[in-house]
Amino acid sequence: MYDFNYHKPGSIDEAIQLFTGAEDGVYLAGGHTLLPSMKQRLASPTDVIDLAGIGGLSGIEDVDAVLEIGALTAHDEVATSSVVQSEIPALAELASLIGDAQVRNRGTIGGSVSNSDPAADYPAGVLGLGAEIVTNKRSIAADDFFTAMFETALEEGELLTKIKFPKPEAAAYVKFPNPASRYATVGVFIARTGSGVRVAITGAAPSVFRSTDMEAALNGEFSVEALEGITLDAGEMNSDLHATAEYRAHLCTVMAKRAVRKLL
């Protein structure tokens, strides 16, 4: 890791100010994506702005039809929260499948979602539930948030502060992990909501996406059979050492069926 200036601001305003004043600043939440890339010298920020000193960025609140989860809430906290387990159990389940135990003790929802790793789990939950991403200056709908591989709608220096998850009627997440890294080779999040079924898929393509074909089929009839014959375009899928595009496309359907089965 190269040397850098370390800051630990006490407020969001101060954090933004530090970011603006830095040559190449970066926010540090749990650090479980940032620090590995800094150690590999793939990232070399001049200034690391640790958000841990800012109050109010962590925690889970049950606010009517919405669960609000602060950006610095660790994966394990979401996985084991009784509120999340009762209101959106699929989200708790998703969080329990991220990385490994030590990673879940440190990694945060804000860090994961801001990073938009194509193989991360949280983006499937955020998009699948149609969550709202709240920043220091605005609120962004999940459908507009994940723009490309490792890219989001966040502007330079904009800070994700919390995520509002509308409570679905029911939801399920099924993951096929990469056997080496334990990231998602394919992860399918299906939510039944007041405005219809949402199907979000992570790991399979350069960025998390919704399968409109699967949503249409499931809106027609919410059954495993409804997904029969739906095969995603392998041309849009990632391919790597562990899974070709064709296999990933196949897994999307299998994982989607399994998610549906959990909801029947």
Partner 1 sequence: MSISVQLNVNGKSVTLDCPSNTTLVDLLRERLELTGTHVGCDTTQCGACTVHLNGRAVKSCTILAAQCEGAEVTTIEGLGDTDNLHPMQEAFRECHGLQCGFCTPGMIMSAVDLVHREPAINEQVIREGLEGNICRCTGYHNIVLAVESAAKKMRN
Partner 2 sequence: MVEQSIGKSVLRKEDQRFITGKGRYTGDIDLRGQTYGYFVRSPYAHAVVGEIDTSEAESMSGVVAVLTGKQVAEDELGGLPCGWMIHSKDGGEMKQPLHPVMAATKVNYVGEPVALVVAESFDEAKNAAEHVSVDYEELPAVVSTAAAQSAPDIYTEAPGNTCYQWELGEKEATDAAIEGAAHVTRYTLTNNRLIPNALEPRAAIADFNTGTEELTLYTTSQNPHLARLILTAFVQIAPEHKLRIIAPDVGGGFGSKIFVYSEETALAWASMKLGVAIKWTAERSESFLADAHGRDHVSDAELAMDEEGNFLALRVKTTANMGAYLSTFASAVPTYLYGTLLAGQYKTPNIYVEVDSVFTNTAPVDAYRGAGRPEATFLLERIVDLAAKELGIDPAELRRKNMIQPADFPYQTPVALEYDIGDYEASLNKAMEMADYAGFAGRKADSEANGKLRGIGLSCYIEACGLAPSALAGALGAGVGLWESGEVRVNPTGSVTVMTGTHSHGQGHETTFAQLVASRFGISVDDVEVVHGDTGKMDFGLGTYGSRSLSVGGSALSVAADKVVEKGRKIAAHLLEGDVDNIDFEDGEFRLKESNRSKTFQEIAFAAYVPHDYPIEELEPGLAEKAFYDPVNFTYPAGTHICEVEIDPETGVTEITKFTAVDDFGTIINPMIVDGQVHGGVAQGIGQAMLEQCVYDESGQLQTGSFMDYCMPRADDLPKFTVGMTTTVCTHNPVGAKGCGEAGAIGSPPAVINAITDAVGVRDISMPATPEKIWRAVQEVRS
**Residue 39 lies near partner 1 (rule: CB under 8 A):** yes
Ramachandran category for residue 229: left, alpha or beta (phi over 0 → left; psi -120 to 50 → alpha): left
**Cα gap 67→83, rounded to integer Å:** 9
Instruction: Give Cα separations from 182 to 21, 29, 98, 245, 254 (angstroms).
Output: 37, 21, 8, 18, 18
* Closest separation in Å from C-beta 66 to partner 2: 35
Provide the 3-class DSSP secondary structure of residue 226. helix
> Amino acid letter at 88?
I
Spell out, one character per residue from 151 to 190, where the chain touches partner 1: x when CB under 8 A holds, - when not. ------------------------------xx--------
* Closest separation in Å from C-beta 210 to partner 2: 23
* Closest separation in Å from C-beta 38 to partner 2: 13
Token pair, residue 154, equals 């966040």
* Closest separation in Å from C-beta 3 to partner 2: 8
Spell out, one character per residue from 62 to 101, where the chain touches partner 1: x when CB under 8 A holds, - when not. --------------x---x------------------xxx
* Closest separation in Å from C-beta 106 to partner 2: 17
Token pair, residue 177, equals 């992990």
Q: Which residues bind partner 2 (CB under 8 A)?
A: 2, 40, 176, 179-181, 241-244, 247, 250-251, 254
- Whether residue 174 contacts residue 201, with contact meaning beta carbons closer than 8 Å, is answered with no
Q: Which residues in the chain belong to E strands, given as ranges?
A: 5-7, 25-28, 47-50, 60-63, 66-70, 132-135, 139-141, 146-148, 151-152, 160-166, 170-177, 184-193, 196-202, 209-210
Spell out, one character per residue from 96 to 135, where the chain touches partner 1: x when CB under 8 A holds, - when not. ---xxxxx-xx-----------------------------
Closest CB to partner 1 among residues 80, 219: 80
- Residues in the site for partner 1, rule: CB under 8 A? 1-6, 8, 28, 31-32, 35-36, 38-40, 48, 50, 52, 76, 80, 99-103, 105-106, 181-182
